[in-house]
Amino acid sequence: MNSPIRRLSFVVAFLFATLLVSTTMIQFVYAKDLNARPDNRRTLLSSYARERGQILVGDTAIAKSVPASNEFKWLRTYPGGAAYAHITGYYSFYGAGSGLEQAENGLLSGSSDKLAFRRVSDFFTGRKTSGASLELTIDPKVQEAAIKALDGRKGSAVAVNPSTGEILAMVSNPGFNPATLSGHDLTKVEKAYNGLNADPNKPLVNRAIGGDLYPPGSVFKIVTAAAALSSGKFQPDSELPGPAELDLPQTTVGLPNIGNRSCGDNDKTTLLNAMEISCNSAFGFLGMELGADALRDQAAKFGVGDQLSIPMRVTPSSVPAELNQPQLAQSAVGQYDVRVTPLQVAMFSAGVANAGVVMRPHLVKSVLSSDLSVIERAEPEQLSEATTPEVAAQLTEMMEAVVENGSGKPAQIDGVRVAGKTGTAETDRVARAHAWFTGFAPANDPQIAVAVVVENGGDPDSEARGGGAVGGPIAKAMLEAGLKK
C-alpha cells in the first residue's frame, strides 16, 4: 500500500471510530437527558404518536385521547371536565401534570415495565401499542353530590369505603378545566397555565391530599377520645372538668370553649357529653392527662405521618414532635400546629366505622388493557389497627350522639343512624374559622365515611352554626348519595 492510500485509510478509520463513539454516547449516555429536554420536538411528537390510556369512572371516560387532524396524532381530552380535574390531572406539551396523568404516566403512556410483555406481543402481532386504562373507585353520584353541596365554596370533600379503603369521592375547590392545558396550541396552553398558576386561590392544588394542609379543629377530638378510651383510664361516662375556660399551666392564656360557656353543672361534664357538645376544656384536660406520646401514638395509628400514595402522593398529616402542656391541651382539640388533609380526617371516621381497622386508601380499582381485559386489580389492604373493636364501638356511640343530640344534627338522615363529629378550626385572629364535618353511615352497618372542610366557613361563636350548619349538609348529601337514599 503506498503512502497516500495508507494515510487516507487512517483518516477513514478515524472518522468511523469517531462516528461509532459519538453514536454510542448519544444512544446510551445522553439519550435520557436529550429526550427530557423541553425543546426536543422529536420527543414531543413521539409522546403524541401513541394513544394514551383512558381514565374511567364506571364505564364513562373522564379522560381519553382522540385522533387529531394535525401533526400530533392524538389529542388528550377530558369529558369529565373540572369535576374530576384534581383526580385526572392534565397532559400537555410539558408532559403529565399532577393527578393520575402524572402518578400513573407509565401505565397511561404504555411505557411502564408492567406492560413490557404486552409491548413484545404487540411487536410480533403488528398491533398498535397503546397505554393501559385505569378504572377508578370513584362513585359518580357521591362525587356529583359533593360538588353540588359544596356549591363553589373553597374547600374539599372526600368519601371512602371504610371496609376496603376505596376512595368514593374526592373534590377540591376551586377547580380548573384540564382541557385548557391539553390543547395543541402552545400559546393558549401557556397562557392558561400561567393564569392558573398565578391565581391566589391556587386552583391547581388538590386540597384533599396536599397544599398547605388544615388545622383539624374539633374533628381531631375523635383521636383524643380514642386515646382516652384506649388508655383504660376513661369511659364514655367518666366525669371530666368542663369549665368555660381551662387554665393552662406555664401561661396566662386559657383554653376557652366556643361561646365561653361551661360544659355542665358545676363546670363538670362526661366524656360522652364533651364529645356531643364539643367541649374544648374537657378535651384539653384529657390531652394533658394522657400526655404527648399517647396522643401522637394514637394519631399515628390512624395514619397521621404516613407516606401514602393513592397513587398520587398524599402530604403526610402531622402532630408536632415536641409539645409542652399548654401546646398539648391545644393539640388535643386540633389546634396549635396539628395539620391534616381532608383524606386523613376521612380516615379517622373510616377507622372507627371499620371496627378500629384503617384500610389503605386507594383510587385505582383496576388497570385495563386496550381491549379492557384486566391487567391488575387492587385488593383491599389493611394500613393499621387504630383501636380495638370495643373502643371503636364506644366511639361510634359517642359520634352518633353528636348527630342525634349535639352539634351534628344537620347531618341527620331519616331512617339512617349517622355517626359524626363537627369541627371549627381557628386560623388566625382575622380570617373566619374553617368549618369541618366528618362521619359515616349507617352507624350500625358502615358503608361510607366522609370528611368535609369549607375554608373560612366556620362561626367562632358556635360549632353548630359552623361545622354543623355548614359542613353537616354537605356530608349528609354525600352519605345519602353513597347509600342511594
Catalogue the E-assigned strands of 68-154. Answer: 74-77, 90-92, 95-97, 133-136
Strand pairing class (60-67; 55-57): antiparallel
Coil, strand, or helix at residue 423? strand
The number of helices, as runs of H, and strands, as runs of E, in the chain is: 17, 21
- Asked if residues 92 and 177 have their Cβ atoms less than 8 Å apart, the reply is no
Grid-cell match 357529653, residue found:
273
Q: Taking the alpha carbons of 178, 183, 186, 187 in that order, is the dihedral positive or negative?
A: negative
Close Cβ partners of 206 (under 8 Å, ≥ 6 residues apart): 86, 98, 99, 170, 172, 312
Count of Cβ atoms closer than 10 Å to residue 379 Cβ = 8
Strand pairing class (133-136; 55-57): parallel
DSSP string for residues in 158-215: EEE-TTT-BEEEEEEES---GGGGSSS-HHHHHHHHHHHHH-TT-TTS-TTT-TT-B-
For residue 218, indicate whether it is catalytic. yes
- The CA distance from 77 to 63, in Å, is 6
- The CA distance from 311 to 456, in Å, is 29
User: How long a stretch of residues is the chain?
Assistant: 485
Q: Which cell is 66 given?
A: 382522540
- The CA distance from 81 to 61, in Å, is 11
221-231 vs 342-353: helix axis angle to the nearest 10?
40
Catalytic residue among 112, 172, 218, 317: 218
The helix (H) or strand (E) run that includes residue 309 is strand 308-309
- The CA distance from 447 to 166, in Å, is 11
Residue 1 Cα distances to 5, 7, 10, 11, 42, angstroms: 7, 10, 12, 15, 46
Q: Which cell is 419 given?
A: 355517626
Q: Which residues pair with 459 in a beta bridge?
A: 462
List residues with catalytic annotation.
Answer: 218
